[in-house]
Amino acid sequence: MLAPYYGTLERIVFGSDLQRCRVACLSEIDTARRALIVGEGNGRFLCELLRMHPEIEIDCIDASQLMLQLARQRVDQELPGHVERVCFLHQDITSSALPKHQYDLLVTHFLVDCFSELVLTGVIKRLARTATEDVTWLLADFCIPPKGMARLRAHGWLAAMYFFFRITARIEASELVDPTPIMQAEGFALTRQHLFRRGMLKSEIWRRCQ
């Protein structure tokens, strides 16, 4: 089971870069009332969101029951008394019914890289239907730099990671799919982007086109 070791593995391979990517846009969003986080992992972003938005209500979905337990434990340890603002849901985002709420904040950090283009299209469509008109969508993930050694390096890293996670976590994807055209087709526009690790990591803010 990968979940108990994921945090350690992340720090060994990427240091603090993945967490920097998760929280890069957090200070740039407006006050959020209700958030949906999909694929949160062990709760590091969740705690930062709770700290910055003390009134927010959060639905947190993950396909791993153990990851949800680790996230709940982290909130209990770091922010005692705040865990009641989070509903932890053990669900598969590709097939389970989503909560019947409308969200003004959607968060998909290091999630879209797990799916093929066909499945990812369906996931983004389903999430878009839960969004309010003034929604903010935070998306952090891997990306391929446009040229040079950075592009070659990213291809090598991603090939190794997909090989590893297909074996250990049983993800279905074998290559990175750019979610940009799918997001645009659902009426979202990219309003902010930060790049890390020589362009291999991105942190983005998406909003509905007006």
Query: pLDDT by residue (tens digit) across 151-168?
Result: 999 889 889 888 888 887
pTM comes to 0.93
* Confidence check: pLDDT of 7 > 80: no
The domains found in the chain, sorted by start residue, are 3-207 (3.40.50.150)
What pLDDT score was predicted for residue 1?
56
Phi and psi angles of residue 144, each rounded to the nearest 5 degrees, phi first: -105, 115
pLDDT band, residue 194 (cuts 50/70/90): very high
Q: Average pLDDT of 127-140? A: 97
